[in-house]
Amino acid sequence: MGFFKNLFKNSKIWEDVDYGDEDEEIIYSRDGIDFHDQVQRTRYIAECLEQIKEGTTEIDRLRAEYERVTSYLKDMEEIEALPDSERAEINSVARQLVNYEEDLEKFRSRKSPLTDEQFASLRRREKEIPSGLEKIKENERMAVLIRKDLRRLDGERKALAFRENELNETMENMRGMAVIFTVAAAALLTILAVMQFSFDMEVYIGYFLTIASAAIALTVVCVKYIDANQELERSSGGMGKLIQLQNTVKIRYVNNRNLLSYLYIKFECKNGRELEELWNMYSREAEDRKQFSENSSGAERAREDLIRLLRKYRIADPLRWVDQIPALLDKREMVELRHGYILRRQTLREQIENNNSLARAAKDEITSVAKAYPMYAQEILEMTERFETEGSVSED
């Protein structure tokens, strides 16, 4: 059969076939064919047999589809004929399935704030993150306090250094003033002595006032110098303690900074705020995925319950109705669905009839050829029988 189709596929055996009109007669054309030539005769009969086979095969396929559509329509009748209580049970399960599917669709269509890689990374450290986040936040707070302490200590050190400079200047000034007062007193005493011994003047009161003034001035300078020196000694001791405390705080700062650096690397974040935001997003995402899993399980249970109910109520193809939930819940959807099935069945019936007509026309043509050329009737009969047995025709 395939041999003849390939060898003579350009030959026109029938003409004016309109598949859209069932009433139009299929007319085979024998023009230009010499039935006394075995090759042409065999080719013609083989093509007719091929047409019969193709029509039969198509009819089988169409009938199977026709039976499925008929089964769907029968299922619809069975569903609509159910008592109200049984139909309500089916609708209740169907609504549950719809609700689950809507929730699942919302989850699928939403935009996740985390990539799958980020979610997997956070999930691996799920048990460590809460304590790690608390540790990071505590150390960040400590870092702020340590920096404040360092700034305060640095300010105190600078103030103390400034005070030491003032005290040193005060002591230096006191020493200068002591020299000035001493020199001035010596000069006055010298002048008084000259006045006494050269001019025989009475200068005892001058001596007394000069010595008294010098004594008082030197005493004041000495007291201030001693006070400044004592304060300087105390300041030097305070500076040492301050520097020691500052060094201790610096060590704490370095340790704190190193610990935070390690924690940032460990939890793959820049700071505690970023980790907290990631953790909050992960918590919401984990809850959403948990809800998705529960909805998936619920949808599967509802689907199984719906199939079980439909089978219980003699529905031939329950799986079909799992995908037709709107028709179960809305009569208008059911009417529209039925209308579609009726149109499909009508179209299938027409196609089956068309293929029947094609097959009958090919069979009638073979019979007509056998009658027109009785000397080849036996050969045609053998070709037909061989075709029915083997499914193909070979050239004798």
pLDDT of residue 138: 92
Ranking 6-10, 237-241, 389-393 by mean pLDDT, the lowest is: 6-10
Residues of the chain by 3-state class (helix, strand, coil), percent to 5: 85, 0, 15
> What's the rounded mean pLDDT across residues 367-376?
85
52, HSE (Cβ side, Cα atoms, 13 Å) = 21
Torsion angle defined by CA atoms of residues 275, 277, 279 and 281, in that order, rounded to the nearest 10 degrees: -150
Amino acid (one-letter) located at 293 = S
Give the confidence band of 27 by pLDDT, cuts at 50, 70, 90: low
What is the value of pTM for the model shown? 0.56
383 vs 31, higher pLDDT: 383
Helices 129-199 and 204-266, packing angle to 10 deg: 170
Work out the burial of residue 367: count CB atoms within 10 Å of its CB; fewer than 13 is exposed, 13-18 middle, 19 or more buried: middle
Within 8 A by CB and 6+ apart from 312, the residues are none
Decide: 34 and 82 in contact? Cβ < 8 Å: no
Within 8 A by CB and 6+ apart from 340, the residues are none
pLDDT of residue 20: 43
What CA–CA distance (Å, rounded) separates 106 from 112?
Answer: 11
Is it the case that residue 396 has pLDDT exceeding 50? no
Is it the case that residue 207 has pLDDT exceeding 70? yes
pLDDT of residue 169: 85
> What's the rounded mean pLDDT across residues 258-287?
89
Ranking 94-98, 147-151, 159-163, 380-384 by mean pLDDT, the lowest is: 159-163
Residue-averaged pLDDT of the chain: 82
